[in-house]
Structure 1
Amino acid sequence: MTDTLNKTAGANAPINDNRKAELLSKQVKHIDIKSFDARPIVDAMSDMSFTSRDLGRATKIYNDMLADKDCTVVLVIAGSTSAGGCMDLYAELVRNKMVDVIVATGATIVDMDFFEGLGHKHYQALEVPDDDTLRSLYIDRIYDTYIDEEQLQDCDFTINKIAESLEPKPYSSRAFIREMGKYLVEHGKKDNSLVKLAYEHDVPIFCPAFVDSSAGFGLVKHQVDAAKEGRPYMVLDAIADFRELTQIKIEAGTTGLLMIGGGVPKNFIQDTVVCAEILGHEDVEVHKYAVQITVADVRDGACSSSTLQEAASWGKVNTGIEQMVFAEAGSVMPLLASDAYHRGHWKDRAKRGWAKLFA
């Protein structure tokens, strides 16, 4: 991790603080799903065609998950919707018992949520100058969203600090992220943090590729420093991630998936059905409900790791209660989540508290 406190970039070019402040002048405001009632528009869209009808059916399926008292709801997040304005949306789902388990990318959990939990912000790009100029100002870009690299490095160092405080032994990503939530309870600057709320509500978070994020820099530094000093260090156990999530699937029985994007998090949760069978639980249920919101294409054989219909051929999901929504998730998730919040099925749901399974 580079020390940027000397305010230099590139060769020896000084950072223009005024220009940087100008570019980082408009914060991203995260949408509040409680502030508006999306039910009328979702109902109307259900009677339309194309993606509108798909969204209407997907929203109904999510409401069915919440109304099913036996169903454990798993929120799966890939991509950058948290940075783009959906961060408080996901936090509200945890706060109101609308999700019971989370599987996400490291970037979603660390670079976006934990980052803001420490008091930092994401910014709207009012303009997009040459990316080399952004680099000279230590501004990182996610499409039309900016992050202050110096603040992101604070996130890296905080991850390192947490790692240094732990007993040197293997940890699943769930166990380490729980320590991050504990840290935010004690030192955080944002109440509506997904990581913090998950800790408080015993909602486990899994990141199967955890080090593919700012956490990776802090954890590498932890191991390198420990090795230089001849002391043991903590490690992340990816096998434990898979084992723990499969254990939840076995214990939960009926499950529903609300998936934003796809890729590794999507494959990870879907594979728990196959893993349970390999462990001898041949009566394990496929995921009963499934919704995926994505802009990925099917023609290259990927679609962020297959359509839900294709996944059924692998014995992972039920083909009867699934819906693909081909849309940019930031434009449709607020409607889906607001609809579900205002329909209120969550009010009668029991709190699962799956994190207690590993206490």
Structure 2
Amino acid sequence: MASNAPPPEATGAVLVKSVEMPEGSQKVEELDFDKFRGRPITAEDLYEGMKNMGFQASSVGEAIRIINDMRAWRDPETGEGTTIFLGYTSNMISSGLRGIFRYLVQHKHVACVVSTAGGIEEDFIKCLGDTYLSSFAARGADLRAQGLNRIGNLVVPNANYCAFEDWVVPILDRMLAEQEASRGTDHEIHWTPSKVIHRLGREIDDERSVYYWAYKNDIPVFCPALTDGSLGDMLYFHTFRAAPRQLRIDIVEDIRRINTLAVRAKRAGMIILGGGVVKHHIANACLMRNGAESAVYINTAQEFDGSDAGARPDEAVSWGKIKVGADHVKVYVEATTCFPLIVANTFAKGA
């Protein structure tokens, strides 16, 4: 005789009895736009509505909380705040995020910046010519024939790089002359990447520039891979122009400078957009103090190839680059999508 009851094996598999959730467990919350009827929706409204939404919305919420904790902390004896290391890759400067980085440096919200060569030169190039929106699908061969260079869905006319050459080469000439004139004196000039960037920030004299404000506020900008871009091209061509003399740029002095900044920090915080040399250069500096107390990573790289770019913060804990028990989060979101919301709820809040 057939039974009307489902098989007990199926019932046992599907209707597994759950345990009681621990007291204080956070419930998933929903963003209800009806709550904002009759008034504008603010960046804080979005943050409050998203932080318990789950997935990467909650990671963005964690990043906001951690950064606000970085900003609020003060050493009980000296009153010093967190030394915040900001890192970003060159594509970020090419995008409209450049204005946010400029804001952070102009208002002294960070202690130092680490970027790649493109993240330096593109800032100056944008003072000399515009970058334009294009498409990720724009054909490389067609763009090459038109003298246009694609960065994702942006294009930069090659004329901008020609303008950069016209601007930067005379500066390199003057820097070389100063270097040679100082030889054998008590004030011999040793150029480093951070000193080169400081000088270029002074020379650009343009308030749109991130590095103009870094120069004005004496915020060091480190670029261990300074030659990996158009600036490297200019330095290469300059070796022929200036022969047999040559501009010398010392990376050893800069590694001492950034590591010392980390060692002397009362508390260290890392905000790193993207991966590669930028991410590791900051993390390795914090190793010198047995790790940063807080860290926010923002990138879309995965960890499964073993690269540092995709590594989660916990891997840095194993190296001593982030302290055991430190506050950290990795946000798996493309930075232009989330960093404006993060800054609006942290550094720019109440500005």
Number of residue-to-residue matches in the alignment: 293
Deviations 1:110-156 (A, max 9, x none): 1x211112x31110016854311111111000111000112112213
Question: Partners in 1 of 2:92 and 2:141 — Cα distance?
Answer: 25
Q: Is the 8 A contact 2:292 2:321 kept in 1?
A: yes
Deviations 1:69-106 (A, max 9, x none): 32111110015122221110111111222212000111
Percent of counterpart pairs with the same letter?
Answer: 26
One-letter amino acid of the structure 2 residue matched with residue 239 of structure 1: V
Q: Which has the higher contact order (CA 8 A, sep 6+)?
A: 1
Shift in Å, 1:273 = 3.4
One-letter amino acid of the structure 2 residue matched with residue 39 of structure 1: E
Q: 3-state SS of the aligned residue for 1:171?
A: coil
One-letter amino acid of the structure 1 residue matched with residue 118 of structure 2: A
Q: Which residue of structure 1 lines up, in the alignment, with residue 342 of structure 2?
A: 336
Q: Which residue of structure 1 lines up, in the alignment, with residue 77 of structure 2?
A: none
Shift in Å, 1:159 = 2.6
Counterpart among 196, 217, 224 of residue 201 in structure 1: 217
Q: Is the 8 A contact 1:103 1:206 kept in 2?
A: yes
- The answer as to 2:135 corresponding to 1:141 is no
Question: Partners in 1 of 2:58 and 2:136 — Cα distance?
Answer: 35
Q: Is the 8 A contact 1:59 1:336 kept in 2?
A: yes
Deviations 1:188-219 (A, max 9, x none): 4xx22101111111111001101111110111
Distance change >3 Å, CA 127–CA 326, structure 1 → 2: closer
Question: Partners in 2 of 1:134 and 1:68 — Cα distance?
Answer: 49
One-letter amino acid of the structure 2 residue matched with residue 242 of structure 1: I
One-letter amino acid of the structure 2 residue matched with residue 152 of structure 1: Y
Q: Is the 8 A contact 1:262 1:305 kept in 2?
A: yes
Q: 3-state SS of the aligned residue for 2:67?
A: helix
Distance change >3 Å, CA 321–CA 127, structure 1 → 2: closer
Q: Which residue of structure 2 lines up, in the alignment, with residue 113 of structure 1?
A: 123
RMSD over aligned Cα atoms:
1.8
Q: Which residue of structure 2 lines up, in the alignment, with residue 326 of structure 1?
A: 332
Q: Which residue of structure 2 lines up, in the alignment, with residue 40 of structure 1?
A: 45
Question: Partners in 1 of 2:197 and 2:241 — Cα distance?
Answer: 21
Q: Which residue of structure 2 lines up, in the alignment, with residue 173 of structure 1?
A: 193
Distance change >3 Å, CA 123–CA 245, structure 1 → 2: same
- The answer as to 2:58 corresponding to 1:50 is no
Q: 3-state SS of the aligned residue for 1:340?
A: coil
Q: 3-state SS of the aligned residue for 1:42?
A: helix
* TM-score (norm. length: structure 2): 0.79
One-letter amino acid of the structure 1 residue matched with residue 140 of structure 2: D
**Which runs of structure 2 are paired with 1:40-119 in the superposition (5 Å)?**
40-69=45-74, 70-110=81-121, 112-117=122-127, 119=128
* TM-score (norm. length: structure 1): 0.77
**Which runs of structure 2 are paired with 1:1-359 in the superposition (5 Å)?**
37-69=42-74, 70-110=81-121, 112-117=122-127, 119-125=128-134, 128-166=137-175, 167-168=178-179, 170-185=190-205, 188=206, 191-227=207-243, 230=244, 232-274=245-287, 276=288, 284-302=289-307, 304=309, 306-318=311-323, 319-344=325-350
Q: 3-state SS of the aligned residue for 1:99?
A: coil
Question: Partners in 2 of 1:192 and 1:155 — Cα distance?
Answer: 16
Question: Partners in 1 of 2:72 and 2:51 — Cα distance?
Answer: 19
Shift in Å, 1:43 = 1.6
Deviations 1:303-339 (A, max 9, x none): 5162211011000112430000001011000100111
One-letter amino acid of the structure 1 residue matched with residue 73 of structure 2: D
Q: Is the 8 A contact 1:160 1:221 kept in 2?
A: no
Q: 3-state SS of the aligned residue for 1:291?
A: strand
Question: Partners in 1 of 2:68 and 2:333 — Cα distance?
Answer: 19
Distance change >3 Å, CA 157–CA 253, structure 1 → 2: farther
Question: Partners in 2 of 1:179 and 1:253 — Cα distance?
Answer: 29
Question: Partners in 1 of 2:246 and 2:70 — Cα distance?
Answer: 41
Q: Is the 8 A contact 2:268 2:286 kept in 1?
A: no
Q: Is the 8 A contact 1:73 1:99 kept in 2?
A: yes
Q: 3-state SS of the aligned residue for 2:304?
A: coil
Runs of 4+ in 1 over 6 A off after TM superposition: none
One-letter amino acid of the structure 1 residue matched with residue 54 of structure 2: S
